[in-house]
Amino acid sequence: MTENEIGKRIVDGAVRIHRELGPGLLETVYEISLAHELRQRGLLVKRQVPIAIEYRGTRFDEGFRADLIIEDKVILELKCVEKLTNAHKKQLLTYLRLSGIKLGYLMNFSETLMKDGITRTVNCLSE
């Protein structure tokens, strides 16, 4: 399955959860719900995954934690904030670069319409 095929399932799942639960809950509620929904759709889902980084020749086993990693190909960073900022977008791009994963989604479940809360970010992904 390609990153783009996985991405379609992710977006469909996020929209479904948002329609049923509504906006404004804690991020963890959306994280566990989306993980469950994506597993129901046949995807391998890992939650709160520590990602190692290397800095000046030293490896740190837990440089950061990805909210969700799907099929070892897509990172999801979930938020429940009034507005996404450039800092959120830069954070996801850095996660992609450091992990070597090519596709990521920043999802803000506080938006009235879920489609307005989804930002797709790529890191050297061939479309």
Q: What is the pTM of this model?
A: 0.91
Contacts of 85 (CB under 8 A, 6+ apart): none
* Residue-range domain boundaries for the chain: 3-122
**Cα separation, 82 vs 79, whole angstroms:** 9
**Cα separation, 45 vs 24, whole angstroms:** 23
pLDDT digits 0-9 by tens, 28-77: 999 999 999 999 999 999 999 998 888 899 988 877 899 999 999 999 99
For the domain bounded by 3-122, which CATH number is listed? 3.40.1350
pLDDT digits 0-9 by tens, 81-101: 999 899 999 999 989 988 899
Read off the pLDDT band of 126 (50, 70, 90): low
Q: Are 106 and 66 in contact (CB under 8 A)?
A: no
3-state secondary structure of 126: coil
What mean pLDDT do residues 21-28 have?
94
